[in-house]
Amino acid sequence: MSFALLLALAALQASAAPRVHSICDISQEFSFYMDGRFHSQYLKNVGRDARNWGSLHRLDLSNTNLLVLVDGDPHVPYSPESIAHVEQYVRDGGTLLLMADGGEVMPPGAALAERLGVKLTKIAAKKPLRAVEAPWEIEFRGGRVLDLGAEWTVLVQDADQKPVLAQRPLDKGWALVGSRGLFGHQPDAKDPINAAWVTPLLVRLATTKAIDAKRPHEGAFAEHERAVGPLTLEYTDGTQRFADAIASEYALVRPHLVALTGVEPAEGMIRRLLVLPTGGGGFSSGERIAIAAWWGDYPNQRYPMVELISHEAGHSWVLPHPEPLWNEPIATYLGISVGRRLEMPEARRTLDEQIAAGRKIDPDFTRVDPLAEDAARDLVWGKSYFVFEELERLHGPGALAKYFQRKRALVPKDRKNYSMDDCVAVWSQAVGTDLFPWFRSLAFPVDASRTDLD
């Protein structure tokens, strides 16, 4: 194909966009990948995406022609209402992509698949995979084969000719079910595997439903909210049963964070707590913290949740100036410290293990520069914890609180940078001792002449 023709085609594609109105669902199971990366890998140039954070059965799908679902987590089943809603959307002309694999424990998506006439199985797909009637090159990260009903057409099969991706018409719409291993995973969106054929396939099926491209389709946010003290709790039908417990953990943790830091959260921070349908972590955008509902096997285990809530909330205490080097370690250290105040034995263990891991790299913490670009994670985290513990031992009690109070007083909100030199200057003033030599003895390349906070 000539370059000029390619350009013409690209222009045509751009002028015709968006042809696909997709919604990626993160209400059944949250992942950063589904929060935008799937779209950027497969639909960036052909469509507009919205996300669904709210209960699926409440979602308006009238102006959507591609719904992307994952098989989900057993903690949040696909509700009968949601399954019926998705089926109706397909019957009305929409296209569904369900990325799903069976397993020893069947995921909730198995119930939706079954409604559409396909069973997920425990049988591992054998490489190499090949497309049945297309010249597609198939990249595959591993997964399980499907057990198809008669209405289904196999698109991709494994070495034993068992289906791995299949499609079926259902009234006016299309259902596609395929192994998760055919699609990208990376939160940085750098693995758009199979995009050369996935994109045209999705476009071909989705565009059988006409959409009003002038009117954006809308995603939805977690539909329930409730005030719990100064906090607005946000959750869905599926995460409701975790919401109250998590809110009470925050209520328990908060006074300890105030005691440890000596300050309230930065102005305007932590107004909202979103309960995320995942076991895998959380995030903080300052005003909102998002907490994984069943993190660390919560509510069966409590310490990991106390640590996570304190970590994510801790970011809102640290702002508006993130800490240099140890912005993440200090958040977890706050969590460990809250756990210790609550006399949870896992807290001490977590601290000791990380310091020991750091000592494997730098036995007395005097040799390895933690700010070096190639500094190992265990060194950075272990040394950070060691420094906080030593500062408390040498300058406590309440050394960390003195530091945060001094930081609030000394560093203007609109200051652009907050470097390690600035940080040591604030620490020095907080404890009334010039700490630059001490930090240098621990291989921090800090220099008082590089900060104006001295």
Which residues make up the interface to Zn ion (CB under 5 A)? 328, 331
Closest CA to 145 of 178, 107, 98, 99: 178
- How far apart CA 358 and CA 225 sit, in angstroms, is 42
Question: Of 78 and 333, which has the nearer Cβ to Zn ion?
Answer: 333
Block residue for tokens 């291989």:
443
Closest separation in Å from C-beta 311 to Zn ion = 6
Question: Of 149 and 280, which has the nearer Cβ to Zn ion?
Answer: 280
Q: Is the dihedral of CA 341, 344, 350, 351 positive or negative?
A: positive
Helix (H) or strand (E) holding 22: strand 20-25
Closest separation in Å from C-beta 331 to Zn ion = 5
- How far apart CA 410 and CA 404 sit, in angstroms, is 10
Question: Of 13 and 285, which has the nearer Cβ to Zn ion?
Answer: 285
- Burial-class residue 366 by CB neighbours within 10 Å (0-12, 13-18, 19+): exposed
Closest separation in Å from C-beta 289 to Zn ion = 10
**Are β-strands 95-99 and 118-124 bridged in parallel, bridged antiparallel, or unpaired?**
unpaired
Closest separation in Å from C-beta 334 to Zn ion = 10
Closest separation in Å from C-beta 282 to Zn ion = 8
Question: Of 244 and 328, which has the nearer Cβ to Zn ion?
Answer: 328
Question: Of 68 and 331, which has the nearer Cβ to Zn ion?
Answer: 331
- How far apart CA 104 and CA 86 sit, in angstroms, is 25
Question: Of 237 and 378, which has the nearer Cβ to Zn ion?
Answer: 378
Closest separation in Å from C-beta 327 to Zn ion = 7
Question: Of 171 and 287, which has the nearer Cβ to Zn ion?
Answer: 287
- How far apart CA 356 and CA 374 sit, in angstroms, is 19
The SS3 of residue 11 is helix
**Are β-strands 288-292 and 272-276 bridged in parallel, bridged antiparallel, or unpaired?**
parallel
Closest separation in Å from C-beta 30 to Zn ion = 16
Rg over alpha carbons for the chain, rounded to the nearest Å, is 26
Closest separation in Å from C-beta 348 to Zn ion = 21
User: What tokens does 406 get?
Assistant: 């001094």
Question: Of 229 and 322, which has the nearer Cβ to Zn ion?
Answer: 322
- How far apart CA 166 and CA 158 sit, in angstroms, is 12
Closest CA to 249 of 277, 284, 275, 221: 275
